[in-house]
Amino acid sequence: MKKKELFLIGGLILFGLIFQYIDSGDISLVRGCSTDDRSIVDRNHPHEFSDSFTFESPLKELKLDNKAGNVEIIPSDSGNILVESVLIVYHKDSSKAEKYRDMVSVTNQTDGVKGIVITSHSGEDFPYRRVRVNFKLFIPRETILDIRNRFGDIDIEGAGRMIKVDGKFGDLTVGNIPSDISVINRFGKTEIHHIDGKIEMDLKFSEAGVTDVSSIDCRIRHSTLRLSGVKNSRSVNIEGEHTKLFLTDILSDQIKIKNSHNLIDLKNVKTTDLLLTSRHCVIKADNLTSDSISIKNSYNKTRLNGVSGRQLNVLITHGDLDLSLQTLFDTVFITNTHSDITMILPSDSDPTLSLNTKYGDISNRTNLEINAVKARYLTTYSRTGTRSEININTSYGDITLKEPAH
């Protein structure tokens, strides 16, 4: 019995010592364990080691690979590339801080007049819990950029072109760029603004804001995207999963959106061709204008308010539809199952109607005269008007026609 107690006490002491070393950052758990061994410890004891180097023009490209730290890129009119690096070691023991400093180095390689490659690396595993390397780069505006950064923020303002950015565990900001950009970001905020070229984005676990861009192609998961102030855009293409999408004040030739298990919210959107495809999503639209609108949704509500255009096609299963027409479309085709439909027609409208429901009712709360035919489980309302053609077919749901509230 005593041997077991002594063994237990010894085990607890050993565990405590191991945990103390892990918590202090002097040792790390092997990769694959669930414990995060890359967060900084001893932030109150930083030791900074600065360096800088200059590359004279012409250098057309710059590539940076930073293991952990912040990256700031600023435009320069000198024509040269100036790199300032600050290696920060967090440790209360100065002698141990020097050892960590020797473990990490900042290197660069040039490829003739083509470009420069800058890296922060370590001969062993990078000491993430103790070291950060912050870069500030002053570059000519026309420099081609390829940036990869981890565990820190990236800020690019008015510098570079044909930019590729890959960030993780940090915030990312890119603005005032006169060319195409490609952005990957994980586990951090993303802010993109004033981009003249096309944006390609791949985001995950990010709060993203995008304003004043000409074209966007975005894949986004488990995030929030706020796209606004887009004028004269060629195309907006968004593919989301478990994501909140907010599009406000958008003028684009074509808009294509796909999402699941969250929200699509459109306000003041005007386009020639709109395609919304979703499942388990709430769809909201206010002041929506498009020549052609196609919407597919399932297992959630769809509310379209103040909609105008020429052709409207809606397919919904297991979700109610509230539709308010600002003006009459040339054609409206709605097919629903297991859902109720409420449609508000414009004042003084005279549409041709064909309404059919199985296992449901039709309610006419307008001044229109509609011919009604009722069978065992089928109800049909129809009328011939002078303009527009509205066809609604549903099953296991009701259809209600209304006029605008005065």
The burial of 374, by beta-carbon neighbours within 10 Å (0-12 exposed, 13-18 middle, 19 or more buried), is given as exposed
Q: Which residues contact 343 (CB under 8 A, 6 or more apart)?
A: 323, 324, 325, 390, 392, 399, 400, 401, 402
- The CA distance from 314 to 321, in Å, is 9
Does residue 271 sit within a domain? no
The per-residue pLDDT for 16 is 65
3-state SS, residue 87? strand
* 217 Rama sector, left if φ>0, alpha if ψ -120 to 50, beta otherwise: beta
Q: Which residues contact 125 (CB under 8 A, 6 or more apart)?
A: 28
- The CA distance from 70 to 132, in Å, is 8
- The CA distance from 59 to 49, in Å, is 27
Does residue 369 sit within a domain? yes
How confident is the model over 17-64, as pLDDT tens digits?
665 555 544 444 444 433 445 778 778 889 999 999 888 877 889 999
- The CA distance from 164 to 311, in Å, is 39
Does residue 404 sit within a domain? yes
Q: Which residues contact 385 (CB under 8 A, 6 or more apart)?
A: 349, 350, 351, 352, 353
Query: Tokens 């096309």 label which residue?
Result: 198
β-partners of residue 231 are none
How many CB atoms are located within 10 Å of the residue 348 CB?
A: 7
Does residue 61 sit within a domain? no
Q: What distances in angstroms separate CA 157 from CA 103, 141, 161, 227, 260, one per listed residue?
A: 32, 10, 11, 19, 33
Instruction: Give the number of domains in the chain.
Output: 1
Does residue 405 sit within a domain? yes
How confident is the model over 128-187, as pLDDT tens digits?
989 999 999 999 999 999 999 999 999 999 999 999 999 999 999 999 999 999 999 999
Sign, CA torsion 213/266/297/204: positive
β-partners of residue 286 are 267, 305
Instruction: Give the mean pLDDT per block of 10 residues along the chain (406 residues).
Output: 66 64 48 52 85 84 94 91 93 88 86 72 81 94 94 95 96 96 97 94 97 94 96 92 97 96 97 96 96 96 96 96 93 95 91 93 89 85 90 94 83
Does residue 359 sit within a domain? yes
- The CA distance from 244 to 207, in Å, is 10
- The CA distance from 98 to 243, in Å, is 45
Domain extent at residue 309: 301-406
Q: SS3 for 291-344, per residue?
A: EEEEEEEECCCEEEEEEEEEEEEEEEECCCEEEEECCCCCEEEEEEECCCEEEE
Structure tokens at 201: 């984005």
Structure tokens at 159: 């510098």
Does residue 209 sit within a domain? no
Does residue 208 sit within a domain? no
- The CA distance from 263 to 33, in Å, is 35
The burial of 107, by beta-carbon neighbours within 10 Å (0-12 exposed, 13-18 middle, 19 or more buried), is given as exposed
